[in-house]
Amino acid sequence: MIDAGGVGYKWNAGTLLRTFRKSVPVLPFLMYVFFVLGLPTIVITALAFKSGNGHYTFSNIKVILSGGQYRAGFENSLKLGVVTAIIPGIIGTLIAYAIASSKSGALKRIVATASGVLANFGGVNLAFMFVATFGAVGLATTWLNAIGLDPWNYGFNIYKLWGVAFVYMYFQIPLMVLVVTPALNGLRPSWREAAEGLGASPWQYWRRVGIPVLLPSVLGCMFLLFAGGFSAYATTEALTGGTVALTPIQIGAYLNGNVIATEQNVGYALGFSMIIVLLIAVIGYSLLLKRSSKWLQL
């Protein structure tokens, strides 16, 4: 029926049937993903634009955008996502570079394994560990207090937004080390040698070669970190008991029934807004990673 650009490959009933038959074993999996992931997403999207009595409306979205607690929560979540992407992103890249350029195989293995474990370490246990360490009477707080540097006297509070950011670094830094290491390993020594051979200083090498080559992957990985920091719930909920105004916490409170009757479907609008932001982040991540693979054989 259609000649695919003169390649000579013709689609006909036979090949279509064969392709279909070949895909049959994958159908159960695809249906599973549809029912467990796709359908709930459709429901969230539909309810985000419905009022309590079933009419289509933009009022749920307007409630969030117009100000008040939901807008504050959304702005806080965005801030948290950006800060816990940039700072751990930079620290993680520096650690990964220090490891990648060292000659010790043991150090590389230890850091790789530790990063793999710690990157998936958000959650309840992490919250408890930080209360025991940097809480008002935590071990590190007590030590610092003994030398007159109690961080709590200088505005530090582990139960507030920036305290939460400090805790998130515990899984964000290892995640960055994990995802950015392949890019750093792709930085070929021959490029540095070539630059030096042409008389480049280390600074010139980094400015003209190293940073331009690495920047897409580093930024891409930061998008991934942003997604994690923006949507994390368990750590903050266990740490603060839901007292910090963040969108995930507000969705949790909504599900637990803490909602005003006139704002019945606002929870779904919050969920929908998060999906939109995260979609942008993941697309940014994929595009930047694709771009970086132009230079780096990942």
Partner 1 sequence: MATAVRRLKPGRAVLLLLSLIYFVLPIYASLQFSLENVQGGFTWSAIRAIPSQPGLAGSVWLSTRIGIVTMIILMLLVVPTVIYVHLRLPGMKRTMEIITLLPIVIPPIVLILGVLDATPLGLKASPYLLSLVYVVLALPFVYRSLAAGLDALDLRTLEEAAKSLGSGALRTIRFVILPNLRSSLLSAVVLSLALVLGEFTMASLDLWQTLPVWIVNFSGSDPHISTAVAMLSLLGTWALLALVVFLDRSHSRRLRKGLVQ
> Smallest distance, Å, CB 260 to partner 1?
17
Burial track 47-65 (b if 16+ CB lie within 10 A, e otherwise):
bbbbeeeeeeeebbbebbe
Stretch that binds partner 1, among 58-66, 192-200, 201-209, 250-258 (CB under 8 A): 250-258
> Smallest distance, Å, CB 175 to partner 1?
12
> Smallest distance, Å, CB 146 to partner 1?
14
Taking Cα atoms as reference points, which of 69, 41, 79, 34 lies closest to residue 242? 69
Q: What angle, 0 to 180 degrees and rounded to 10, lies between the N-to-C axes of helices 266-292 and 68-100?
A: 30
- If one counts every other C-beta atom within 10 angstroms of the C-beta of residue 124, the result is 12
Which 3 state secondary structure label does DSSP give 3? Answer: strand
Q: Which of 255, 258, 287, 290 binds partner 1 (CB under 8 A)?
A: 255
Q: Which of 52, 123, 151, 186 binds partner 1 (CB under 8 A)?
A: 123
Residue 48 or residue 209: which is nearer to partner 1 going by CB?
A: 48
Residue 40 or residue 198: which is nearer to partner 1 going by CB?
A: 40
Residue 161 or residue 246: which is nearer to partner 1 going by CB?
A: 246
Residue labelled with tokens 């117009």: 66
Q: Do 219 and 207 touch, CB atoms closer than 8 A?
A: no
Give the x-and-dash track for 151-170 against partner 1 (CB under 8 A).
Answer: ------------------xx
Q: Which of 222, 224, 244, 296 binds partner 1 (CB under 8 A)?
A: 224
Give the x-and-dash track for 12-41 against partner 1 (CB under 8 A).
Answer: ----------xx-xx-xx--xx--xx-xxx
Q: Which of 176, 183, 244, 251 binds partner 1 (CB under 8 A)?
A: 251
Taking Cα atoms as reference points, which of 232, 230, 224, 225 lies closest to residue 282? 224
Q: How far apart, in Å, are the Cα atoms of 158 and each of 99, 123, 168, 241, 250?
A: 30, 15, 11, 12, 19
Q: Do 263 and 63 touch, CB atoms closer than 8 A?
A: yes
Stretch that binds partner 1, among 5-13, 42-50, 152-160, 184-192 (CB under 8 A): 42-50
Asked if 138 interacts with partner 1 (CB under 8 A), we say yes
Q: Which of 15, 66, 201, 286 binds partner 1 (CB under 8 A)?
A: 286
Give the x-and-dash track for 177-216 against partner 1 (CB under 8 A).
Answer: ----------------------------------------
Asked if 274 interacts with partner 1 (CB under 8 A), we say yes
Asked if 258 interacts with partner 1 (CB under 8 A), we say no
Taking Cα atoms as reference points, which of 284, 9, 272, 239 lies closest to residue 131? 239
